[in-house]
Amino acid sequence: ILQAVSQSHEAVSKHLGKSNYTKKEVSAIKTEDPALQQNIAVLLQMYNFSDSIPDLIEEVKEGIKHFSDQLNYNLNVNFSGRDAVGDNPYDLMDLGYGDGNPQNRFPDEKHGTHVAGIIAAERNNGRGVNGVANNAQIMSIRAVPNGDEYDKDIALGIRYAVDNGARIINCSFGKSFSPNSEWVFDAIKYAASKNVLIVHASGNDGLNIDASENTQYPNDYNTNPGPEFAENVLVVGSLTQNYGSEMISSFSNYGQNNVDVFAPGSGIYSTIPGNTYKSQGGTSMAAPAVSGVAALIMSYYPKLTAVQVKKIIEQSGLSSKTNVILGGDPSKAKNFNEISSSGKMVNAYNAMILADGVAKGRVRI
How many domains in the chain?
A: 2
Residue 99, in any domain of the structure: yes
Domain boundary among 64, 79, 102: 64
**Could you tell me if 231 and 184 lie in one domain?**
yes
Distance CA 98, CA 154 (A): 13
Domain boundary among 29, 48, 64: 64
Mean pLDDT over the full length of the chain = 93
Helices in the chain by DSSP H: which ranges? 2-16, 23-27, 34-46, 53-69, 111-120, 151-163, 181-193, 283-300, 306-315, 348-359
CATH of the domain at 93: 3.40.50.200
**Could you tell me if 15 and 110 lie in one domain?**
no
Domain boundary among 22, 48, 64: 64
Distance CA 119, CA 291 (A): 7
**Could you tell me if 153 and 257 lie in one domain?**
yes
Question: CB within 8 A of 17, min separation 6: which ones?
Answer: none
**Could you tell me if 17 and 131 lie in one domain?**
no
CA angle 215, 74, 88 (to 5 degrees): 90
Residue 82, in any domain of the structure: no
Mean pLDDT of all residues in 295-304: 98
Q: What is the pLDDT of residue 194?
A: 98
Q: What is the pLDDT of residues 337-351, one digit of tens each?
A: 999 999 999 999 999
Mean pLDDT of all residues in 306-332: 96
Residue 297, in any domain of the structure: yes
Q: What is the pLDDT of residue 146?
A: 64
Q: What is the pLDDT of residue 223?
A: 86
Residue 143, in any domain of the structure: yes
Q: How far is CA 303 from the centre of its chain?
A: 28
**Could you tell me if 28 and 173 lie in one domain?**
no
C-beta neighbour count of 313 within 10 angstroms: 29
The answer to whether 271 and 130 are in contact (CB under 8 A) is no
**Could you tell me if 175 and 272 lie in one domain?**
yes
Q: How confident is the model at residue 75 (pLDDT cuts 50, 70, 90)?
A: confident
**Could you tell me if 131 and 277 lie in one domain?**
yes
CA-based R_g, the chain, Å: 22
The answer to whether 233 and 277 are in contact (CB under 8 A) is no
**Could you tell me if 92 and 170 lie in one domain?**
yes
Residue 229, in any domain of the structure: yes
Residue 74 pLDDT exceeds 80 = no
**Could you tell me if 30 and 148 lie in one domain?**
no
The answer to whether 334 and 346 are in contact (CB under 8 A) is no
Q: How confident is the model at residue 82 (pLDDT cuts 50, 70, 90)?
A: confident
Residue 121, in any domain of the structure: yes
**Could you tell me if 153 and 198 lie in one domain?**
yes
Q: Which residues pair with 221 in a beta bridge?
A: 228
Distance CA 358, CA 44 (A): 51
**Could you tell me if 322 and 181 lie in one domain?**
yes
Residue 365, in any domain of the structure: no
Please tell me the number of Cα atoms within 13 Å of 151 on its side-chain side: 21
Residue 50 pLDDT exceeds 70 = yes
Distance CA 234, CA 261 (A): 8
Residue 147 pLDDT exceeds 80 = no
Q: How far is CA 16 from CA 41, 42, 47, 63, 129, in A?
A: 15, 16, 17, 28, 30
CA angle 234, 238, 242 (to 5 degrees): 140
Residue 78, in any domain of the structure: no
Q: What is the pLDDT of residue 148?
A: 65
Q: What is the pLDDT of residue 131?
A: 97
Question: Pick the residue with more confidence: 77 or 148?
Answer: 77
Strand order in the sheet with 344-345: 168-171, 197-201, 233-239, 261-264, 344-345
Structural domain for 56, as ranges: 2-64
The answer to whether 234 and 198 are in contact (CB under 8 A) is yes
Q: What is the pLDDT of residues 167-177, one digit of tens each?
A: 999 999 999 99
Share of the chain above pLDDT 90, in %: 80
Residue 105 pLDDT exceeds 90 = no
**Could you tell me if 47 and 111 lie in one domain?**
no
Mean pLDDT of all residues in 177-184: 95
Residue positions counted in the chain: 365
